[in-house]
Each structure stands twice: as C-alpha cells, then as structure tokens.
Structure 1
Amino acid sequence: MCLLENVLEWNGQRIVCEALSHTDPMNPLRAADRLGAATGVEYAAQAMAVHGALVAPSDAAPTQGYLTSVRGLSLHVDRLDDLAGPLRVTAERMSGDSRLILYQFHIHHGERCLIEGRASVVLDAQTL
C-alpha cells in the first residue's frame, strides 16, 4: 500500500511528501465510509520510510524498519477524507543512530496543521 504521491523535497534530515490518496473512496485505511485522522500516522510512517531509503548508502542492503512508538500525537481534525486537494506530509529526523531514529512529523492541508507528533523507528529489530 502506497499512500504518498510525490516527494517534493528532501535532504539528510527532512523529507516533504504530497498525498492525494486521502480522497480515494478505495483507500485501504477507510473504515465506516470515512478516513479518520489517526490514519495520518501511516502517511507519516511512509514518509519516514522513503526518507530512510533516500539517505541510505547506495551500496547498503535494504533494512526493515518498525514504527515502535508515537508520542505527543495531536489530531487537529476528525477526518482526512473530506479535505479537497493534496496533503503535505513532513518528517524531520530529530536524532538517532544506525538502529533507532526519532522523527517529528506534521501533516498539513494548505497552511492548516492537521496532525503532528513524534515517532520512533527501529531498524533491523532482529539484530537488537
């Protein structure tokens, strides 16, 4: 399942993506004919995964990441599917090493912040 449409910009610390899938009636995260705001965490997790792939050395073997916690989550809306136009998903690496990364994320619709929080990602959990 790929929820993101485009990578708008990225560097070693940050990625900004665009999503349009929130308006798709076939979005696999929809429940009870709506897409609740908490599903935005999955949008952010996908942006973090894309960021990890972009910053990984080109000769490195792919690693599997696991979202292990979400903290300070603020949902400023109840749902995402009733918003026309693209969402902007931003994830910024706050700290980390080769096994654990802490990201801060935001999801905006235009200038309005819809969702924000922090998430930790464990890479190669089987080696811990």
Structure 2
Amino acid sequence: MLTRADWAGLIPHAGRMDLLDRVLHWDADSLEAEALAPDAAHPLVRAGRVHALHACEYAAQAAAVHGALLARAAQATTAPGLLAALRAVQLQHEWIGSAAPLHIAVWRLAATTQAVQYRFAVAQCAAPLAQGQLLIAFGAKP
C-alpha cells in the first residue's frame, strides 16, 4: 500500500486537491486507490455536497498517479498531462456520500507518446457510483 507521500511531487495535484489517500494496488495495467469520504472542507463541495460527476476527477487523479508510478519504475518522467476527454460516463447516483471512503479503479486501455486512455470505476460502500473512460493528453494546454 502507498500513501500520498509516495507520489507527492509526481503529479500536479497538491494540498486539498490531491484527492486520493491510498493506493491499494498497482501494476503495469491498473491501479486501485482509496479516498476518504468528502467532508465539509472538501475543495469540490458545493451547497454542502459533492456531485457524483466529480468522481471523474478522482479517476483522473488515479490515472495520473498510475502514470507517474510507471514512469518512476522505469526511471523516467512523465510529460504534463491534461484531462482531455470523458466518454461513456455513467453516474449511478447524483451525490457522493459523506460517510464512507471511495474506491477508485483505473485500467489503462491504450497509450502513445501523445495521450493515454483509461477505463475507470468509482464505488462507495461496494456500490457503483460512476464509470466511464477518460483520455489524458500530454503537452496540451488548457
């Protein structure tokens, strides 16, 4: 198991916007992570709640950590990436609950020097919350 200290500085997310708390498992093709349930001080809280669409941000961060861990294992660095697309996103609930941790899983589907594509699933209390695909583009500007 890895904690934030293990990937600090490897991804651009920091402080409260580093949403993941633990990496439970990772290998060349996938990563499983856990994040504490959002509280009132969560950076994505609006009107006291976090919308389930933000599960995509958790997944994008899991993909970023995966890529950074792969690069570090290969003694390389990763180019800065930008979440460029979300596809086939399905939300099973409107809001993320505040009572239980989130389980985030990402699976790398394809990778080139310009982009990487992942499938993701986010669950809470073993119940599906969100799933879909994301594309991270390297060298893209917002």
TM-score in same-fold range (> 0.5): yes
Tell me the residue number matched to 1:30.
Answer: 45
Whether 1:16 aligns to 2:17 is: no
| Structure-2 separation of matches of 1:23 and 1:62 | 29
For residue 125 of structure 1, give the secondary structure of its aligned residue in structure 2. coil
Moved more, 9-18 or 117-126: 117-126
Q: Kindly state the Cα deviation for residue 100 of structure 1 after the two structures are TM-superposed.
A: 1.1
Confirm or deny: 8 A CA contact 2:68 2:77 kept in the other structure: no
Q: Kindly state the Cα deviation for residue 15 of structure 1 after the two structures are TM-superposed.
A: 0.3
Tell me the residue number matched to 1:101.
Answer: 116
Tell me the residue number matched to 1:69.
Answer: 85
Q: Kindly state the Cα deviation for residue 111 of structure 1 after the two structures are TM-superposed.
A: 2.3
For residue 62 of structure 2, give the secondary structure of its aligned residue in structure 1. helix
Tell me the number of residue pairs that the alignment of Structure 1 and Structure 2 aligns.
Answer: 124
Moved more, 53-62 or 115-124: 53-62
Confirm or deny: 8 A CA contact 2:39 2:98 kept in the other structure: no
For structure 2, the 5+ residue unaligned runs are: 1-16
TM-score, normalised by the number of residues in structure 2: 0.81
Q: What are the within-5 Å matches in structure 2 for residues 40-79 of structure 1?
A: 40-57=55-72, 58-79=74-95
Tell me the residue number matched to 2:14.
Answer: none
Amino acid at match of 1:4: L
Deviating 4+ runs (over 4 angstroms): none
Give per-residue Cα distances to partners, 1:4-35, cap 9 Å, x unaligned: 11000000110000000x33210010111111
Q: Kindly state the Cα deviation for residue 95 of structure 1 after the two structures are TM-superposed.
A: 1.0
TM-score, normalised by the number of residues in structure 1: 0.90
| Structure-1 separation of matches of 2:33 and 2:85 | 21
| Structure-1 separation of matches of 2:76 and 2:56 | 27
